[in-house]
Amino acid sequence: MNDFGPILILMAVSGLICTVMVVGSWVLGPKKLTPYKSSPYECGVAPSGEANERFPIKFYLVAILFVLFDIEVVFLWSWLTVFQSAPLDYQIFTGLAMLVYFAFWILGDWYVLKIGALDWDEAASLAPEKYIDSSLPAFDPSTSLTPERVAVNS
């Protein structure tokens, strides 16, 4: 049994516990399914429309950026582990090389922030026609957002 053997046993035991937990209630609990119970929960009213709706592209963008940055971190691991115990000339040489690497890394990060790839506020998620046009008067909540107006509208 090598170093990783106990890890396999740990995974087997935790997998067993997880299975028991999930299957246990399925076996022990009563089963009286009615159409109302088995319908999707949407705040107690009848569900409407498709559940798999469109969602913002931002989530996909974040996933792509994560893959990019995480691979950059992965490249570091092997270097940074041996760095401490390496001789001085190796440390200085690879240190400078890694600073160049980090310069590219920071450049990429700066670019991502610059184009607003990680902005989650209104500017990034609203349709363009829904935000500012400086020729129009700014929104003033004290005059505009009164219950009276909501009533008029409806």
Partner 1 sequence: MVYDWLKGLQDGAINPLGISGPFLLALLKVLLLIIPILTLVPGLIWWERRLLSWMQDRIGPNRTGTITFPDNFPLKALAGKKIRTFGLLQPIADGLKLFLKEDITPSHVDRKIYFIAPAIALFPAFALGGTLPWGPHTGIYGLLTPVANIEIGILYVLAISSLGAYGVVLAGYASNNKYSLMGGLRASAQLISYELGMAMAVAAVVMAAGSMKLTSLVEAQEAPLWGFVEGVQNWFIFTPYGLVAAVVFLIAMIAETNRAPFDLPEAENELIAGYHTEYSSMKFAVFFMGEYAAMFVFSGVFAVLFLGGYNMMPFQWDVLANQIPAMRGFFEFMASANYWLAPLTFIVKCAAGITFFIWLRATLPRLRYDQLMNLGWKTLLPVGVANFIVVGLWVVLTKIWGPVGGFVSLLVAMVFLAVLYLNFVSRTRAEAIGLQSRKIALVDPAPSQRRGITLVDPNKS
Contacts with partner 1 in 24-43 (CB under 8 A)?
A: 24-26, 28-33, 37-43
- C-alpha pair distances (Å), 36 with each of 21, 31, 48, 54: 26, 14, 14, 26
Longest dimension (CA), the chain: 78
Cα–Cα distance, 111 to 150 (Å, whole number): 43
Q: Does 111 bind partner 1 (CB under 8 A)?
A: no
Question: Min. distance of Cβ 47 from partner 1 in angstroms?
Answer: 8
Question: Min. distance of Cβ 91 from partner 1 in angstroms?
Answer: 5
Cα–Cα distance, 22 to 9 (Å, whole number): 20
Question: Min. distance of Cβ 46 from partner 1 in angstroms?
Answer: 13
x/- site string to partner 1, residues 48 to 67, per CB under 8 A? ---xxx-x--xx--xx--x-
